[in-house]
Structures are given as C-alpha cells and as structure tokens.
Amino acid sequence: MLNDLPSQAEDKILALMAQFRADPRDDKIDLGVGVYRNAHGHTPIMRAVKSAETILLETQETKSYVALAGDPAFTRAMADLVLGDVVAQNRIAAAATPGGTGAVRLAFDLVRMANPDARVFVPGPTWPNHLSILDYLGMPTVTYRYFDSTTCEVDVAGLLEDMGDLRAGDAVLLHGCCHNPTGANLALTDWQAVIDIITTKGALPIIDIAYQGFGDGLDDDAAATRLVASSCPETLIAASCSKNFGIYRERTGLLMAVSNDASSCDLAQGNLAYLNRQTYSFPPDHGARLVTMILEDETLRADWQAELANMRAGMLSLRQQLASELRTLSNSDRFDFLAGHRGMFSRLGASPEQVARMREDHGIYMVGDSRINIAGLNTDTVPVLARAMIDAGV
C-alpha cells in the first residue's frame, strides 16, 4: 500500500537550505530561512525565556495533561497581548495549538465545519503553507490582489475591488502585521475599508498574526487585528509565539475565535476542543507555560519587551542601511520601499533569473520570488547584497 502513495514536491525553502549547506564558499549569505538571527547569525534564546525555564524547572510538579484547549491562563495572557481590552472575554473561544501553523490549520478546519461551501480569499502572494493547507483540505480559494510588484507596495485599489466578489459565508485571510513574504502592510485607514467590505458582504475574517512586535511595536502591530475584532461580529485569529518569544521548536500557538455573543462562543469553544481531540488530543504545554509566565510576571515581561525592542530596532536599522546603500549605488529612490516595509521579510522585486545570478555570482541565497529575510543580514553583508543586486540588474 505504501508504494501507492503519491510523490510530494520538495519544499522550495528546504531545498534552498540544502543548496546553501552544499555551497563551499566561506562568504555565502543565507537570506532564505525564515527565522530570526542576530548579527552573528545565531537564533538566541531570549533572556526572559531562559529565566522562565529556570523557574519552571524548579517549581513544576507534574507533567500531566492540561485541558483539550490548553491552559486557560495561556489564553487569557495571549488574548490580552493580541487584543488588549477591545473584545470582552466572554466572546473569545480559544485553543492552544502546535505553533502558529497549527492555529492556521485549526482555523481552516473550523471554517470548513461551519460552511463546507466557503471560499477562502487569500492575498497574492501569501505564505505558501496557507495555500498548501487549503489545497490539502480541498477548500476553494480565490486570490485577491495584494502586492504591486512594480511599486513594491500594497495594491489597495486592486485589493478592495477583488474583495467586492466576496459572498456571505466566505472567509478572508489577512496578515495582521509584517506581511510574509512581502513586508508590505496596509495602512490602518485601509484596514477600515477592508472591514467595511467584509461586514457588508457577511464574510468571516481570518487573521494570521505571526510577527507581533517585529514591526513597529507590540501595540502598533496589533492595531489592525484589534480593529477587525472589535468591528466585525466574528473573527478568527491565529497567533504564533515562535518569533516574538524565539521559541520556534517549542511549537507554541493559539487560535482565538471571537464570536458575536456568549452562546456562539460556547459553541465555538466546544468545536475547538473537538478539533484538538481529533488531531493531537492535548496540545503541548511547555512553550505556552513559558509565555504565560513571562506575560504574567512584571519583571520577566519588561525584560522580554526590552529584548524584543532591540531585535526590532536591529531589523529596522538594517532596512534603512540597505535602502541607503541601494540609493547610492543606483542613484535613484526605487529601493526606498525597503525602509518602509516591516518585519523579517521583503521582496526585492528581482526576477528568478536575477535571483539565480546573485546566488551563482555572489553566494547570496534567497527564495526564487526574491523574498529575503532581513534578519539574515548584518552591517557587513548589507553592502554585499546591495552590490549584488545592482550587478544582477535588479
């Protein structure tokens, strides 16, 4: 039977990683892998996480299961971080998940259970795994215009026009901040126009917020998500702790379902617990426990926020440096968008051929659509990338 399984295409980023490892050049640069790295190319364990783990090691008395939907304290802490006080707690159903990916998958499952005919509108482009999961689930998708490859900014007019095709019962996938893969974000005023269309059409927003704190700050990065959740009768929010807490391998995420009223909230909570039971039963707790401890402890939270602010400032500085280098080398402002983008990623606007040339001639590895991980750079490699881009004719 196993011989009859279909062949699966290799993940493009994993394939790129293998190419990078096989490259013998000492000066090669990896801008493909989507994890945060400091100036030394290392993904550190954050200080507050280390402190919380030490406390947990000394005080934890059991490794027994928590609840099907995870520890309620984790839900409360994350709901406060993401939503603040804009939504009443009795409207929020939630389930802890293995990472943000698990939360995204749970959101799509919940939509499919509620409306098997739902179409999911997805931005063009979006994180490839969004489309892979939707395809696996057999859920129909509609791509709405998002990124203008000429201006390297959001195509607001095209986005709003395409969302005009929404029907009642459809779902709309939105990136809460730090859009992956482009780094281009909607302005808050444009978010209101999106909300108006979604509510008028009777669609359901699904927000993937994986980089809160990596853009302009924890509250600023959550502003759009809070606006949607407080304006729409229902919202699904898939939150990840991998990046802003640096706990990638702990697989810590949460799906929140903001319902119209307490009765609908109870129904959503029951279905979230059911879906967890069918997939992995009880969710992992170690990462969620650390996040809860950090968010609930004033000292740990202050230290975490200070380190996160330094990480964010470092990425913003690299963006400014790259835009400045390219302005000098190109004698134009056509790359200034890089300073305005937010988060770990940006699309450079290079063709696949230009991407290949930068890899072959300069040992610079990025995804074929020219998405780069800003955190893969440092002050010494920014000029190298800038020169390679000009040499390749970007």
Which domains can be identified in the chain, with CATH numbers? Answer: 11-44+313-391 (3.90.1150.10), 65-296 (3.40.640.10)
Residue 12 has what pLDDT? 82
Share above pLDDT 70 across residues of the chain, in percent, rounded to a whole number:
100
**Of residues 323, 362, 361, the one with CA closest to residue 341:** 323
Comparison of pLDDT for 223 and 18, the residue scoring more? 223
* SS3 assignment for 153-203: EECHHHHHHHHCCCCCCCEEEEECCCCCCCCCCCCHHHHHHHHHHHHHHCC
- Residues 187-209 have a mean pLDDT of 97
- Residues 126-153 have a mean pLDDT of 96
Instruction: Report the alpha-carbon distance of residue 353 to residue 214 in Å, rounded.
Output: 30
Instruction: Report the alpha-carbon distance of residue 385 to residue 380 in Å, rounded.
Output: 10
Q: Are 361 and 385 in contact (CB under 8 A)?
A: no
- Residues 300-321 have a mean pLDDT of 98
**Which pLDDT band, with edges at 50, 70 and 90, does 14 fall under?**
confident
- Residues 308-319 have a mean pLDDT of 98
Does residue 10 have a pLDDT over 90?
no
E strand spans, the chain: 29-30, 92-98, 120-124, 141-145, 147-148, 153-154, 171-175, 204-209, 235-240, 252-258, 345-347, 364-365, 371-373
> 9 Cβ partners below 8 Å, 6+ apart?
none
Please indicate whether residue 63 is annotated as part of the active site: no
Does residue 9 have a pLDDT over 90?
no
- Residues 82-97 have a mean pLDDT of 96
- Residues 320-347 have a mean pLDDT of 97
Across the chain, mean pLDDT equals 96
Instruction: Report the alpha-carbon distance of residue 384 to residue 363 in Å, rounded.
Output: 10
Does residue 360 have a pLDDT over 90?
yes
Please indicate whether residue 229 is annotated as part of the active site: no
**Which pLDDT band, with edges at 50, 70 and 90, does 227 fall under?**
very high
pTM for the whole structure: 0.96
Please indicate whether residue 191 is annotated as part of the active site: no
Residue 381 has what pLDDT? 97
Does residue 230 have a pLDDT over 90?
yes
Instruction: Report the alpha-carbon distance of residue 381 to residue 16 in Å, rounded.
Output: 19
Q: Are 383 and 322 in contact (CB under 8 A)?
A: no
Does residue 53 have a pLDDT over 90?
yes
What are the pLDDT digits (tens) for 148-176?
A: 999 999 999 999 999 999 999 999 999 99
What kind and span of H or E run contains 343? none
User: Which one is catalytic: 191, 243, 339, 369?
Assistant: 243
Share above pLDDT 90 across residues of the chain, in percent, rounded to a whole number:
95
Does residue 11 have a pLDDT over 90?
no
User: Which one is catalytic: 109, 155, 208, 303?
Assistant: 208
User: Which one is catalytic: 93, 210, 222, 239?
Assistant: 210
User: Which one is catalytic: 127, 170, 304, 369?
Assistant: 127
